[in-house]
Structure formats: structure tokens, C-alpha cells
Amino acid sequence: MLNVNPRSLNNNSIVEFDPYTSASKVIEFPGISHNKEYFICGIDYSPSTETLFISANARAPWWNEDEPQMGMNLTGPNRLIHYSPLNHSIIWEIDVNPLISEIEQDIGAPTGGFQDEAEDKDGNAYYPTSFGNVILKVDPNGQASKFYVPKPDKRKTHSYGWGGYVVTEDNLLVLSDAVTQSFALFNLTSPSPSEPTFFRPSNIPDKYPTALYCDSLITPKRFKETVALCADVFDQTLSPHGIIAAYYSGDGWKTSEYIGAIPVAFEQAPGAWSTATFEAEGSIYALTSALPYEKGGFPQTDSTPLVDITGSVDELLEKKFGVEGLVVEL
């Protein structure tokens, strides 16, 4: 159970937590923290650089008083922060809106809804928009460029698309696309990986209408990157507070299949949602979040449980493969 410092709640700051001492520290960003135009909702650790990439994106695409429907208002500030947790300092911070404006002029349509990022082994960050499915590439020096802009027949400006993204050890950029309910695969070893391969997972149940509506995606090393865990806060049919959907691939994400879901019904956090999962010391944890209610108010909470779901994921694999067929890396 992670106790929350009240100064960190709903104000675009982040918390550094020491699991050995239970000490926590609030980290704020000038001009971003306590600024309602921003929404910090994507923090990713890059093992290759041992640094954090933080999405300080516009709040309006996700919720605003004038247009409560998600994805309709794509305006607002968008910045990517590269932060050193060892030095407690910002390495660089970039404003990507000038590049987004250039792309919008080229395609004649808005794009926005940044929320997360993924990094390759060379320290490049891939920074997608969830509405419009554009991907920016930011090099280790903080220079942003266009990586992928969908062709007109593949554009869905106001529909939720890219949701979860991960770079595997094979240097594959894997994204979940809610528009096509498919995974999209970019081969980053290619000299010009400009077009993805889309493939829809098999065995998705008919009663799961929000398949691949991922708020985040991870491919844990515990399972040798053969399992993808999708935190789906959109699903209301399989669980009232969302699910952690699990997908398996035995061929390097050329194909995949749905193998089951873990309902977000954590006793430690009644009424909470899980917007992300992460791996630490060989275990898988679900991060719980207090998401805003219908009119934008946030639930009151003084703790943020980190729930160990390793056993639940193992059970899904046991049902699929049997005990002898587990792909767990011991």
C-alpha cells in the first residue's frame, strides 16, 4: 500500500517512492504542475538510459467542462520531459506542438491525445497520439520528428486508437490500436520502418467489445515477452472497473491470441481503476488510480495500492498451456 502525499493528488506532479523505507517525495515541474491545462498521465522507465520519460500532455482531449466527450477537443499544450531519477533533474523538456501543427496542416485534420511513450535500445522515444494515430520520434538529444502519419483511409481523428505501446528486446515497436482492434507492429531494425503490420488477435470473445482499448501495455520479461498485458479501463462488460486483458504470441508478435482477463476488483482499492501494470523483481503489479467521476470530480483517497497480480497471470497461462507448458522465466 502506497500512502499518497496530498500535495501530489490531481495536480500534475509525480511521486518518488522507496519501497524499502516507505519514504516518498513529491516532484513538481515548473509551469506544468498545478496547471489545469496539462495532464501528466504517462511515465515510462527506459532501461537503456536508466531515465524516465514523462508525458505532460493536454487535458482537454481526455476531459474538459465544455466538451466532456473524450477525443473531441484536441487542443492544449503537449510536452515530453526526459528526467533523471538518479540526479533528480530534468535532462531536457520539449514542446511538440509546433511539429503537431505542421502535421495537422499537411493532413488537414487535428491529431492529439498524447498519453504515453516507448523507448528503443538507442534511447529514442516514440510518442504517439491516441486520436489520429500519429507517432513522433524524439532522439536522445530531444529533437522531435515525424515517424508515422497514417494514410487518409486509415485516419480516425476523433476515435480512440493507439493506446498501449512497448519496444521489445527484438527492437519491435508494438502498439495496440482500438480503431482496428489489432496490434500494430513496426520493425525498428528496418532502415525505414514507415508502415506497420496490423494483426487482430484470435479468440477475442464476442462479449468483449473494447478489445485492444488499452490504456497501457507491457510485455513482461518474466514471460520472455510472449505475453502482453493490456490495462483496459474502458470495459464495462467484463468488470465494472475495467480489466487487465492478456494476449499471448509465440512467434515474435507476428500473430497473437487473447488468453483471458483479470477483473479489476481489488479488495485493497474498492472503487479504483487500473490504468497500468508494471514489472519489478520478477513480479507483475497493477497500479490503481482514482479516476474522475462523470462530472470531473476525483474520488478522495489517501492511498494508492500496488496490487500483485503475478499469480493471476500465471493462472491464465496454466489454463492455456498446463503447468508443464508455462513460459515463465525462472
pLDDT tens track for 32-72? 999 989 999 889 999 999 999 999 999 999 876 666 678 99
> What is the model's pLDDT at position 169?
92
Strand extents, DSSP E, 48-88: 51-58, 79-84
Residue 325 predicted with pLDDT over 80: no
In total, how many domains does the chain have? Answer: 1
Q: Where are the alpha helices (DSSP H) in the chain?
A: 97-107, 310-321
Using pLDDT thresholds of 50, 70 and 90, give the confidence band for residue 330.
very low
Sheet containing 89-95: give its strands across.
38-46, 51-58, 79-84, 89-95
- Please report whether residue 297 resides in a domain: yes
Q: Is residue 61 part of a domain?
A: no
Q: Is the pTM for the entire model greater than 0.85?
A: yes
* 310: in domain: yes
Alpha-carbon gap, residue 256 to 237, rounded angstroms: 22
Q: Which domain holds residue 262?
A: 201-330
| Residue 179 belongs to some domain of the structure | no
C-alpha grid cell for residue 54? 514523462
Q: Let me know if residue 114 belongs to a domain.
A: no
Residue 270, domain member (yes or no) = yes
On the CB side of 93, how many CA atoms lie within 13 Å of its CA? 15
Confidence tier at 175 by pLDDT (50, 70, 90) = very high
Which residue would you say has higher pLDDT here, 166 or 294? Answer: 166
Domain membership flag for residue 253: yes
Q: Is residue 78 part of a domain?
A: no
